Amino acid sequence: MKRTGLRTTTALALVIAAAPISLAYGQQITVWAGDTGSGGKIFAEMAKTFEAENPGVTVNVEEVSYQTLVESLPVQLEAGEGPDIAIITDLGGLSRFYQDITPYVDAAYFEQEWGQTLQWLRGGDATSTAIYGMPTTLTVNGAYVNLTLFEQAGVPVPAEGATWQEWAEATRQVAQATNTEFAMEMDRSGHRFASLAISYGAQLVDEAGHPVVDDGLRAAIEQFVAWHQDGTMPMDLWGAVGGATHRELFSDFLNANTVLYFGGSWTLAQMDSEVGDLFDWAVVPAPCGPSSCTVMPGGGAMTVFSHTQNAEIAGKLINFFAQPENLDHYISTEVEIPSAASQIANGVEYPTASARTSEALATFINQIPKMDAAAYRFQGWRYQRAMMNALTTRISQVLNNELTVDAAMERIKEDVNLAIQAAGGQP
């Protein structure tokens, strides 16, 4: 890991003192980017222009593993160390380490483009107007279906507005007619389960930041367990692993072993490159529950950390990346779902994406206006990860007959309250 710091020589200090602008010579900014997609390559390329416009500033974009961002970065931040900037996904959980960069960005522009998602970075403080970074991309949970299997089975593909139960029934018919192993699969992830739960009316967290276990959550768990008991879903994902371990078997969909796979937009590139024309597939609109037709949003944000010695230049760098021409270049090159309101409204061209991928991207983007308010609130909650880990762990215990649904509900709430107490008791 590279530590950052202000490297100012005596001679340069004289220059700085006379400089009409506050940016100082010899400043070095380190940015961590995850290893998905192109990593930090596109940001590194764009940073060259920023360096040219700000002589004396060096931007080091370092690609690190996703595990490093999830596991190592929080430990370093706790010790007051780490990069100046990172692109992270635990937006609420790391909120206590952020630096307010409002003085260094076009605040009105940021509010216009990311008015709702900026709240995810504020740790649940509804009164805060601080700007801690820039949401980079939006990810959207969603279902992939094998259209070739539907055609072979002669079963109509459920239309937009179909319920989870209607999808389960249709995919069971397809699986039976085509001897496909499973009807539906879902990543072993509390985030993916939250889509189902919120569509069934679960709130998961209230406005004050307290965990909520309600009848909606109970109904979703009971339905999820029933699908495992009747063979609609395999035990290999949620029932075969203990604890909060994230697990996915997207290979089952790639190998046509399941009719429907509930994952997310981040696997589009994999679909395009690995499935190709082996079979027809599509992303379908969000299945509906009794409460709503919603899925969970997700995504990353580029944030500045409070231990940085270069908050001003770090904030200006993010403001530079946030400019429309840079945003368009990043989103279209990376083939990602935009998070900026104007890009969502006007659309983004993806010149390198196939027609099928472009259509799937459009379907994912069309789900964004339908997302339930509870989904946005849960996404920005400081203790979202604690709740997601509890959901995964306790639901798996129900599947393995180690807990009843009632006991699981109690343990989920206890798990999250313990996390809140461990963090000082502030919800």
Give the pLDDT of residue 247: 67
pLDDT at residue number 65: 87
pLDDT tens digits along 24-78: 557 999 999 987 767 789 999 999 999 999 999 999 999 998 779 988 999 999 9
Cα gap 380→374, rounded to integer Å: 10
User: pLDDT > 70: what percent of the chain?
Assistant: 92
What is the reported pLDDT for 20? 36
How large is the average pLDDT for residues 324-339? 90
**What's the confidence (pLDDT) of residue 7?**
35
Three-class SS of residue 86? strand
3-state secondary structure 293-336: CCCCEEEEEEEEECCCCCHHHHHHHHHHHCCHHHHHHHHHHHCC
Instruction: Using CB atoms within 10 Å of the CB of residue 174, give its burial: 0 to 12 exposed, 13 to 18 middle, 19+ buried.
Output: buried
Tokens 């509010």, residue located? 111
CA–CA distances in Å: residue 122 to residues 33, 53, 127: 21, 31, 9
Q: CA 3 → CA 6, 7, 72, 81, 390, distances in Å?
A: 10, 12, 15, 8, 35
CA contacts within 13 A on the Cβ side of 388? 24
pLDDT tens profile 227-248: 999 999 999 889 877 776 666 7
Mean pLDDT to the nearest integer, 131-155:
96
* Residue 341: how many other CB atoms lie within 10 Å: 15
CA angle 59, 61, 67 (to 5 degrees): 150
The more confident residue out of 377 and 412 is 412
pTM equals 0.80
- Each residue of 169-198: pLDDT tens digit? 999 999 999 999 999 999 999 999 999 999
pLDDT band at 286 (very low <50, low <70, confident <90, very high): very high
**What span, in angstroms and rounded, lies between the C-alpha atoms of 20 and 23?**
9
d(CA 21, CA 294): 47
pLDDT at 1 over 60: no
Distance CA 290, CA 198 (A): 10
Cβ proximity of 263 and 187 under 8 Å: yes
Average pLDDT over the chain, rounded to an integer: 89
Compute the average pLDDT of residues 140-153. 97
Any idea which residue has 């370093």 for tokens?
76
Rg of the chain over CA atoms, in angstroms? 23
pLDDT beyond 50 at 17: no
Nearest to 299 by CA among 187, 136, 190: 136
Three-state secondary structure call for residue 6: strand
Residue 160: how many other CB atoms lie within 10 Å: 12
- For tokens 């009316």, what's the residue? 201
Contact 366, 347 (CB under 8 A): no
Tokens linked to 52: 């040219």
Element (H, E) at 137: strand 133-146
d(CA 8, CA 10): 7
Express each pLDDT in 403-412 by its tens digit. 999 999 999 9
